[in-house]
């Protein structure tokens, strides 16, 4: 997979806005509601140890104040079990830098876009084609002792409040690198602006459901798989979040932040086709400016549409974005605001934690 440019791209369909909100008492969380399992584990553990953190320990990025506008849609089974592992298993997160220093991300105007046309009738056919492409078994099968490496570029728009002034801003596009052992007990996270330059370790005595070994054990029958996803997400979802939306988020996060075996990946797409409200989108762009088609679902409560973006020719997963497509009382952000965008730049199997693809063991 080709790496993305190191500088921040400016896709033509992104425009900039400096408008102030009429009122906002609290910040929106900077990031996609922190649903990625590594940051969720880090934040839960940070809450537990805040009062007893030893001097010199590098803190994780501070937890943002609760958001009065957007509902919590972070409902993937991997995150749920990661949280349980962090509390019950004694997750260890240690700053890689001697002083925990990290470079602050620059902020700019909110990211906005023109979003594509949704088609409910086109979703099943597109997902069938994507499933066939995902069933390709040419990708390497990890061996015991190896790690899953995922590199991406991410950016977010959120509400920033200073004193009595609120405005919608964005963090600059930045890199994120994650390593995870096959059993999910060991890993490493480096994210510009969020961790030190050297990163933080991710350790737990309790494995989580998003680990490769756990994914390999999931049913490959789409109906059985979807029922399991519903069951797992029902156990942790906010009651205000629709059940179908929770399942869609769960599948998207497993596709975006893990390395499912080919047969499981194919089954996840077939399961997604069975979720009511799923649509195809004729055009969407990832964080690095790559255009593709998308599979999406709108959360009617906050008017945001989550889009999984695929290459138009190969149907390879490119990334994901969340776009405000409808004004609602629960969401003060303007239609067209991109609250989160990501692009997978590399996904590989490596021999050791913190090893980069192509490096010798």
CA neighbours closer than 13 Å in the CB half-sphere of residue 89: 20
At residue 268, the pLDDT reads: 97
DSSP E strand stretches across the chain: 16-17, 107-111, 118-119, 147-162, 165-171, 174-181, 186-191, 200-203, 279-285, 291-299, 304-310, 317-324, 338-350
The secondary structure of residue 24, as a DSSP letter, is -
Indicate the pTM of the whole model. Answer: 0.76
Q: To the nearest whole number, what is the mean pLDDT of the chain?
A: 76
At residue 23, the pLDDT reads: 32
By residue count, the chain amounts to 361
Q: What is the pLDDT of residues 295-318, one digit of tens each?
A: 999 998 899 999 999 999 999 999
At residue 121, the pLDDT reads: 95
Give residues with Cβ within 8 angstroms of 55, minimum separation 6: none
pLDDT at 163 over 60: yes
Q: Is 156 helix (H, G, I), strand (E, B) or coil?
A: strand
Q: Are 57 and 100 in contact (CB under 8 A)?
A: yes
Burial of 162 (0-12, 13-18, 19+ CB in 10 A): exposed
Summarize the confidence of residues 141-167 as an average pLDDT.
94
Residue 45 host element (H or E): helix 37-49
25-29, 84-88, 153-157, 264-268: least confidently modelled range: 84-88
Q: What is the pLDDT of residues 93-114, one digit of tens each?
A: 444 433 356 778 899 999 999 9
Helices and strands counted in the chain (H then E): 7, 13
Q: What is the DSSP string of 182-247?
A: TTSSEEEEEETTTS-TT-EEEE-SS--TTSHHHHHTS--SHHHHHHHHHHHHHTTS-TTS-HHHHH
Q: Which two tokens stand for residue 92?
A: 């260890």
16/310 Cα distance (integer angstroms) = 25
CA distances from 89 to 44, 60, 81, 82, 235 (A): 12, 19, 11, 9, 19
At residue 74, the pLDDT reads: 33
| Residue that the structure tokens 């509601």 belong to | 33
Q: Are 288 and 294 in contact (CB under 8 A)?
A: no
Q: Are 41 and 93 in contact (CB under 8 A)?
A: yes
Q: How confident is the model at residue 203 (pLDDT cuts 50, 70, 90)?
A: confident
Q: What is the pLDDT of residues 119-137, one digit of tens each?
A: 999 999 999 999 999 998 7
pLDDT at 28 over 80: no
Q: 237: closest CA among 66, 30, 83, 31?
A: 83
Summarize the confidence of residues 227-232 as an average pLDDT.
94
Q: What is the pLDDT of residues 237-251, one digit of tens each?
A: 888 889 999 999 999
232/292 Cα distance (integer angstroms) = 30
Q: Which two tokens stand for residue 349?
A: 């199997």
Q: Is 270 helix (H, G, I), strand (E, B) or coil?
A: helix
Domain range list for the chain = 16-350
Burial of 59 (0-12, 13-18, 19+ CB in 10 A): middle
Q: 19: closest CA among 178, 144, 157, 146?
A: 157
Q: Pick the residue with more confidence: 12 or 149?
A: 149
């Amino acid at each position: 997979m080709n790496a993305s440019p190191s500088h921040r791209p400016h896709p033509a369909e992104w425009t900039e806005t400096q408008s102030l909100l009429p009122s906002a008492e609290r910040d929106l969380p900077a990031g996609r509601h922190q649903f990625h399992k590594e940051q969720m584990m880090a934040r839960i553990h940070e809450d537990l140890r805040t009062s007893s953190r030893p001097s010199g320990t590098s803190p994780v990025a501070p937890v943002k104040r609760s958001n009065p506008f957007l509902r919590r849609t972070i409902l993937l089974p991997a995150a749920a079990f990661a949280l349980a592992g962090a509390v019950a298993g004694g997750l260890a997160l240690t700053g890689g830098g001697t002083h925990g220093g990290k470079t602050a991300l620059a902020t700019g105007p909110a990211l906005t876009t023109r979003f594509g046309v949704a088609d409910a009738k086109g979703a099943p056919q597109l997902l069938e084609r994507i499933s066939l492409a995902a069933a390709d078994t040419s990708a390497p099968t990890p061996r015991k002792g190896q790690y899953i490496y995922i590199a991406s570029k991410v950016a977010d728009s959120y509400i920033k409040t200073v004193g009595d002034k609120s405005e919608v801003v964005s963090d600059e596009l930045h890199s994120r690198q994650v390593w995870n052992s096959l059993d999910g007990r060991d890993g490493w996270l480096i994210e510009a602006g969020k961790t030190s330059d050297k990163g933080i370790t991710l350790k737990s005595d309790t494995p989580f459901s998003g680990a490769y070994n756990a994914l390999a054990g999931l049913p490959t029958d789409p109906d059985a798989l979807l029922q399991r996803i519903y069951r797992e997400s029902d156990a942790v979802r906010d009651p205000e979040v629709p059940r179908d939306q929770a399942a869609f988020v769960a599948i998207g996060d497993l596709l975006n932040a893990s390395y499912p075996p080919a047969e499981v990946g194919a089954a996840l797409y077939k399961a997604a086709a069975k979720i009511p409200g799923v649509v195809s989108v004729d055009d969407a762009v990832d964080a690095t400016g790559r255009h593709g088609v998308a599979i999406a679902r709108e959360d009617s409560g906050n008017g945001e549409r989550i889009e999984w973006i695929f290459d138009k020719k190969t149907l390879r997963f490119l990334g994901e974005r969340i776009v405000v497509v409808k004004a609602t009382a629960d969401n003060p952000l303007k239609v067209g605001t991109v609250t989160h965008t990501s692009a997978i730049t590399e996904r590989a199997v490596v021999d050791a934690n913190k090893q980069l693809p192509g490096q010798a063991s």
